[in-house]
Amino acid sequence: MSNEPDVAATPVRNLGKVQKFIVGADFEAYAEQLDFFFVANGVTDSKQKKAVLLTNLPTETYQLAKDLMAPILLREDSLTYDTIVERLQKQLKPQKSALVARYEFDNRSRNAGETVSQYVAVLKHLATDCKFNDAMRLERLRDRLVSGIRDKRMMSELLKLKLEDLTFDIAVAKCIAIEQSYKDVEALQGGKEANPVDLLSKSKLSKKPKPKKEVKSPEKRGSPSSKEQGDRSCYRCLGNHDHKSCPFLKEKCHHCNKTGHIARACKAKKRETQAAHPPIHYADSDDGDSDDYLGSLEVNNVSDKDHVIWVNPEVQGRVIKMELDTGSAVSVLPYKQYKKHFGHVKLAKSLVTLKTYTGQKITPRGEMKCNVKFRGQEKELTLQVVETPGPALFGRNWLSQIQLNWGEIKALKLSKTPQGVMQQKVDQLLQQYESVFSEGVGTLKGHKADLKVEEGCQPSFHKPRQVPYALRPKVEAELTRLEKDGILSKVEYSEWATPIVPVVKRNGSVRVCGDFKVSVNPVLLTKQYPLPRIEDIFANLAGGKHFSKLDLRQAYHQMEVTEASKKFLTINTHKGLFKYNRLVFGISSCLAIWQRVIDQVLQGIPGVQCILDDMIVSGKTNEEHLKNLESVLKRLQDAGLKANKEKCEFFRDRVQFCGHEIEKEGLHKTQEKIEAVVSAPRPEKVSQLRSFLGLVNYYNRFLPNASTHFTSC
């Protein structure tokens, strides 16, 4: 008879099968699948659940669980299944920034070969990290589906419905119905069902229609044909390349303000121009076969009036306002202006014929020989007199005889664009606060750094270190400059002395740094103040369209220290002892002291973020951006701080800040950081490994399941 005690074992039904967890997979989904397995098999005991989980983890994930639970052993009864699952979920699926999640959501379009159902599932998955409320979630899903479905027929059917009638569920149902119709039609026509993978690339299932013969515009005549160009004509800029690789892909049109093309290729501009007045051709004879282009009279287009460049030559003793048009083969004067100013001058018969794009011929009333003066130049030129409501045109026949200042014209034209107008406002603002960007070191008003050391500590005096002879002249020049600016003062005696470390900068000059970790820092009462988190900085900039970046000039040196603190900041050099009168980098408290003060200076200004000496300013509109920037400059001026204008950037579409590239669409990695990670040497020591992991972890938000990859390395 056996002495073993009776054990009431839970019957195992073996319904379903538990798969091993795969490194890199979604652990949250795996845990949910395990819960269903336990329900199906009636497993309720926490020990059994824990055993099933741990036996189905790969070695590296098991080791991760073991490390996370340390010092508690996995076999301990106090460690429950739910606790292990919760810790692994936090580690293997860290919370993604809502800003990054929304960027990924807004930029996810349907891929080639992806069915509607697959695309909808991806959108729903991406929306889980975006922190949408329930009402916003369905609305954003619907909008993303409509704009990202990439099928003309589907988009057309969805856009037929009123916005209030188009729900997400209706949009999905319509797209799936159209997708199914593609399959049905293909099956009927070809005797086989269409491959869903190819549906996205097929806009029509029937035979492709022959492309219509392109009618060449005057500016394209004489240029290579589409075949000679390899069918790579770009509709974004009219250049000879594929539109997908166009350098103006993300540029903003100065005419319609839409992104994706430039003004010379703007279709809206072309339609408005043709509606206002038909463009004219210049022909050498009555047959009208000439390809020379006189130019469109775009001055009548109100929306484009700011782009017109006016020239004021003196014609026959009278100043005439003329539109500069490099597309005009001849210079033109409206008949009404001729009658008003030159009615006494007899017209000669014109030898040219003008025509519109529609083929309508326009015969000039005549041509006038006239004396033209412009900025010290004088020529006898010909002017065509035409019945037109447009302005006088300064054409190419005059341009070949009269020299213009194209640099001045380019600057004038740029100043008329929205960017030019905004640049003028920024220039006025910088001129108003020019003291902020003046030379020299600023002095912060109302704040002085006060350093305290442990009571009863012994002063630390260190001899000067040897400086390489090649660097001595540069070190001496830097010490002289710092002493001249009042940052350093020569002293004969000090109980405290810190050796220096010369650091060569990119421009070849030297930065003098004190090695305070061997002297003051060990006994310094370090002040604590949190630095802004990268995630908080970029989240607060959400909605900004343009960005300005300010860099403070020698930031820490702009804050004075108290008289009692100067003795702790004495440095020992081969030129003797010097004490710092300003806060200096290397002191363990300097970051907290400076960040606290600069936060107080900029407190309350919206759209502004600052980390140490770098500031970034934005706004949801240009006016708001300009207002925020002015507030920052005024605060800096009132506080006595100065910025380095050479390192500042204003109203940029994208800027680099804190190792990231930020634009209105979201957050991006920088190539410099990526190359640093890729080119990093293989770690051979624990300290090197920590450095490498810290470098990679800086971009962990861009790496799915980053912690899993780190543990599997």
For the segment 640-653, what is each residue's pLDDT rounded down to a tens digit?
Answer: 998 888 888 888 88
Q: What is the pLDDT of residue 577?
A: 92
Cis peptide before 71 (omega within 30 of 0): yes
At residue 194, the pLDDT reads 43
Choose the weakest-confidence range: 15-29, 103-117, 225-239.
Answer: 225-239
Ranked by mean pLDDT, the top range of 210-219, 301-310, 417-426, 466-475 is: 466-475
Question: Helix crossing, 418-432 with 622-639: angle to 10°?
Answer: 10
Q: Please say whether the beta carbons of 44 and 38 come within 8 A.
A: yes
Give the pLDDT score at 380.
Answer: 93
CA distance 564 to 559: 15
Q: Residue 281 and residue 363: Cα distance in Å, rounded?
A: 11
Residue 414: the pLDDT is: 62
Q: Are 644 and 551 in contact (CB under 8 A)?
A: yes
pLDDT value at position 368?
A: 92
> Quick one: average pLDDT of 66-88?
82
- Give the Cα separation of 282 and 290 in Å (integer): 7
Task: Name the residue with tokens 């405290």.
Answer: 496
What CA–CA distance (Å, rounded) separates 66 from 706?
A: 18
Confidence of residue 698 (pLDDT cuts 50, 70, 90): low
Higher-confidence residue of 682 and 210: namely 682
Tell me the per-residue pLDDT of 261-287, one tens digit each, with 9 for 90 and over.
888 788 877 766 655 444 443 333 333
Bridge partners of 694, per DSSP, are: none
d(Cα 90, Cα 513) in Å, to the nearest integer? 41
Beta strand 560-561 with 448-449 is: parallel
Q: Which helix (H) or strand (E) holds 477?
A: helix 472-484
Sign of CA dihedral 201, 203, 204, 207: negative
pLDDT value at residue 442: 87
Give the residue carrying structure tokens 């798969």.
Answer: 19
CA distance 66 to 72: 8
CA atoms within 13 A on the CB side of 578: 25
Instruction: Give residue 355's pLDDT.
Output: 63
Residues 479-489 have a mean pLDDT of 90
Q: What pLDDT digit, counting tens, does each position of 610-649 carry?
A: 888 888 888 888 888 888 899 999 999 998 998 888 888 8
708 band by pLDDT with thresholds 50, 70 and 90: low
Report which of 212, 155, 159 is spatially closest to residue 178, judged by C-alpha positions. Answer: 155
Measuring CA to CA, which residue among 37, 45, 57 is closest to residue 82?
A: 45
Residues 439-468 have pLDDT tens digits of: 888 888 888 888 888 888 898 899 988 888
Degrees to nearest 5, angle at CA 376 with 371 and 381: 25
CA distance linking residue 182 with residue 650, whole number of Å: 51
- Give the pTM: 0.46
Q: Give me the pLDDT at residue 704, please.
A: 65
- What is the tens place of the pLDDT at every residue in 346-359? 899 888 877 655 56
Angle between helices 686-697 and 671-678 (to 10 degrees): 150
The C-alpha atoms of residue 650 and residue 648 are separated, in whole angstroms, by: 7
Q: Which H helix or E strand runs over 512?
A: strand 510-514
The residue-averaged pLDDT of 373-400 equals 89
CA 317 to chain centre: 54
Instruction: Confirm if 56 and 20 have CB atoms less than 8 A apart.
Output: yes
- Average pLDDT rounded to a whole number, residues 310-325: 90
Residue 143 main-chain phi, psi, to 5 deg: -65, -40
pLDDT at residue number 701: 66
pLDDT-based confidence at 40, cuts 50/70/90? confident
Residue with tokens 């009219």: 238
Residues 6+ apart with CB under 8 A from 551: 613, 614, 615, 643, 644, 647, 648
Distance separating alpha carbons of residues 609 and 540, to the nearest angstrom = 8
Q: Max alpha carbon distance in the chain (Å)?
A: 139
Residue-wise pLDDT tens digits, 111-126: 888 899 999 988 988 8
Token pair for residue 393?
């045109």
CA 357 to chain centre: 42
Q: What is the mean pLDDT of residues 507-523?
A: 87
Residue 213, pLDDT above cutoff 60: no
Lateral strand order in the sheet of 280-283: 292-295, 280-283, 353-356, 361-362
> Could you tell me the pLDDT band of residue 292, with boundaries at 50, 70 and 90?
very low
Pick the closest to residue 202 from 178, 232, 234, 169 (CA basis): 178
Strands annotated E in 309-390? 310-311, 314-315, 318-319, 322-324, 332-334, 353-356, 361-362, 366-374, 377-386
What's the confidence (pLDDT) of residue 382?
92
Q: What is the mean pLDDT of residues 78-85?
A: 84
Distance in angstroms (rounded) separating the CA atoms of residues 140 and 126: 11
- For 396-413, what is the mean pLDDT? 81
- 3-class secondary structure, 332: strand
Which strands make up the sheet holding 649-652, listed edge to edge?
Answer: 608-611, 614-619, 546-551, 649-652
pLDDT at 312 over 50: yes
pLDDT attached to residue 622: 84
Six-digit token pair at 56?
């189905």
Closest CA to 566 of 491, 640, 460: 491
Q: How far apart are CA 62 and CA 27, in angstroms?
A: 13
Looking at residue 499, its pLDDT comes to 92
Average pLDDT over residues 662-683: 75
Dump strand ranges (E) for 264-311. Answer: 280-283, 292-295, 310-311
59, pLDDT greater than 70: yes
CA angle centred on 444, ends 583 and 557, rounded to 5°: 30
The Cα–Cα gap between 390 and 334 comes to 7
Confidence of residue 409 (pLDDT cuts 50, 70, 90): confident
Distance CA 1, CA 569 (A): 86
For residues 698 and 676, give the distance between their C-alpha atoms in angstroms, rounded to a whole number.
12
- Mean pLDDT of the chain, nearest integer: 78
Q: 542 by DSSP, 3-state: which?
A: coil
Backbone angles phi, psi at 389, to 5 degrees: -80, -5
Q: How far apart are CA 247 and CA 244, in angstroms?
A: 9
CA gap 458, 568 in Å, rounded: 12
Q: What is the DSSP string of 228-262?
A: TTTS-B-TTTS-BS-GGG-TTTTPBPTTT--BSS-
What DSSP element (H or E) covers 513?
A: strand 510-514
Give the model confidence (pLDDT) of 147-204 as tens digits.
898 888 888 888 888 888 888 889 998 899 888 888 877 777 654 444 443 433 333 3
What average pLDDT does this structure show over 602-614?
Answer: 85
